[in-house]
């Protein structure tokens, strides 16, 4: 398991517990510390777990609005706690985490959903995140990390203009 994937797993477990407990104020640091000790006691993630958890916590209302918009047949409270938090993390990474490429955000969220969610979780997460990314492309909201590099752009132009 890669370091980033382990970090995402710890972050997801922490967000799951926090959400399950009713999102108690000030409880997340204790939950994260417990999960670090439980799952990876000597693991140094260079702050990535906290970055993910804090990002989701700080933006969860905004993230939930995106879920509501792109999964209109699923009221937020009817989505399983694990799927809801996989989506929150995936949307946070997809839209707000500037250094995380869209493909990585989507693939990691799908893997987490498959590993920790129900039988249809991977497909559900893939459908929602895929629709969000398509909307971002249409709106021109693609992050800098997802824009083609100058060399790639030149190669593409050369191929299309023989």
Q: Please name each of the domains of the chain with its CATH number.
A: 49-160 (1.10.940.10)
Q: What is the pTM of this model?
A: 0.88
Instruction: List, for residues 88-127, the tens digit of each pLDDT value.
Output: 999 999 999 999 999 999 999 999 999 999 999 999 999 9
Determine the Cα–Cα distance for residues 120 and 44; give it in Å rounded to an integer.
33
d(CA 137, CA 126): 16
DSSP type of residue 47: T
Res. 154 pLDDT band, cuts 50 70 90: low
d(Cα 38, Cα 26) in Å, to the nearest integer? 20
Determine the Cα–Cα distance for residues 104 and 78; give it in Å rounded to an integer.
27
- CB atoms under 10 Å from CB of 26, counted, come to 6
Model pLDDT, residue 28: 94
């Amino acid at each position: 398991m890669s370091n980033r994937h382990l970090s995402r797993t710890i972050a997801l477990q922490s967000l799951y517990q926090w959400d399950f407990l009713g999102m108690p104020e000030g409880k997340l640091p204790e939950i994260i510390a417990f999960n670090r000790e439980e799952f990876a006691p000597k693991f140094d993630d260079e702050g990535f777990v906290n970055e993910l958890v804090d990002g989701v916590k700080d933006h969860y209302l905004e993230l939930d609005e995106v879920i509501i918009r792109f999964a209109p047949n699923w009221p937020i409270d009817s989505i399983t706690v694990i799927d809801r938090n996989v989506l929150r993390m995936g949307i946070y990474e997809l839209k707000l985490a500037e250094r995380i490429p869209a493909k990585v955000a989507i693939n990691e969220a799908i893997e987490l959903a498959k590993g920790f969610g129900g039988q249809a979780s991977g497909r559900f997460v893939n459908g929602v995140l895929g629709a969000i990314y398509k909307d971002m492309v249409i709106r021109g909201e693609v992050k800098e990390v997802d824009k083609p590099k100058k060399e790639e752009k030149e190669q593409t132009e050369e191929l299309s203009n023989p």
